[in-house]
Structure 1
């Protein structure tokens, strides 16, 4: 699906389910990773994560577009457009928009930090696990102010 097809789909869904025109842009944003789509308050554009369309298909894409159009139309009208607002929840139920996307498979998720560092206080034995290295000459134990020693580095 191209951006032009997504734009026409968004305009069609807006006219059919909301009975209001969509006058801004809808496009795929390749930088989106953790969300199915987002509505931009400043530009009124809608950005969609292509991975959800590729993995879950057309129906998932329609649900994401409906969800983002709820934000869009309520914001334009000056009503409550946030997830917790009563207007938003009522409109989502009215048009059949999902509250959350289906989760992506593990291959699409970003990997967390690969290294974990373990430190131990030489005085009291308090242990610390960190994802970043700690300068043991500068930092001390938070419990007793003793000297820290790197115990081991674990690659996951």
Structure 2
């Protein structure tokens, strides 16, 4: 999907706000091309929602709408003076009520190929790593079992 201009983006966010929350979105929303590890963020001091444009171009529309709804949960709770942070019960409850995702899926362009794979002998947990790990020095973080290197 092509990128939206600022007016279209605001209209989309306001429409989702009206549908999911029965409340209007009255502040600013924009794309932030510098976001890399997240789909979006809400900045309470500015009452600003920033969205990662890569999620609109690389992922499906449902994923992008889910990110908007997640950020709207932060926005509406903050405006109402309720707990709007991830750890707050009110935030988690509103996520469930609106069908908003807790986390966004990783972008296909940001997926990394791991060079090393380690397996715990005891609990069989797999660790994927970019750098090599000294198996004589480190053990499994879950059960303290011995790690063995797996060949890719």
TM-score normalised by structure 1 residue count: 0.67
Consecutive unaligned residues in structure 2, runs of 5 or more = 113-130, 132-152
Out of 62, 66, 81, the residue aligned to residue 65 of structure 2 is 62
Out of 104, 110, 122, the residue aligned to residue 101 of structure 1 is 104
Consecutive unaligned residues in structure 1, runs of 5 or more = 111-115, 117-156
1:7 aligns with 2:10: yes
Correspondences of 1:62-141 after superposition (within 5 Å): 62-105=65-108, 107-108=109-110
Q: Secondary structure of the equivalent of 1:16? A: helix
Q: Is the 8 A contact 1:72 1:81 kept in 2?
A: yes
Q: Is the 8 A contact 1:10 1:22 kept in 2?
A: yes
Q: 1:109, CA displacement in angstroms?
A: 6.2
Q: 1:42, CA displacement in angstroms?
A: 0.8
Q: Is the 8 A contact 1:34 1:109 kept in 2?
A: no
Summarize deviations over 1:15-36 as a string: whole Å, max 9, x none. Answer: 1110111100111111111110
Q: Partners of 1:44 and 1:13 in 2: how far apart?
A: 17
Q: Partners of 1:6 and 1:37 in 2: how far apart?
A: 13
CA RMSD of aligned residues (A): 1.9
1:27 aligns with 2:30: yes
Out of 37, 46, 51, the residue aligned to residue 43 of structure 1 is 46
TM-score normalised by structure 2 residue count: 0.69
Q: 1:108, CA displacement in angstroms?
A: 3.4
Summarize deviations over 1:45-81 as a string: whole Å, max 9, x none. Answer: 1000011111112111100000000000000101000
Q: Partners of 1:43 and 1:10 in 2: how far apart?
A: 17
Q: Secondary structure of the equivalent of 2:30? A: strand
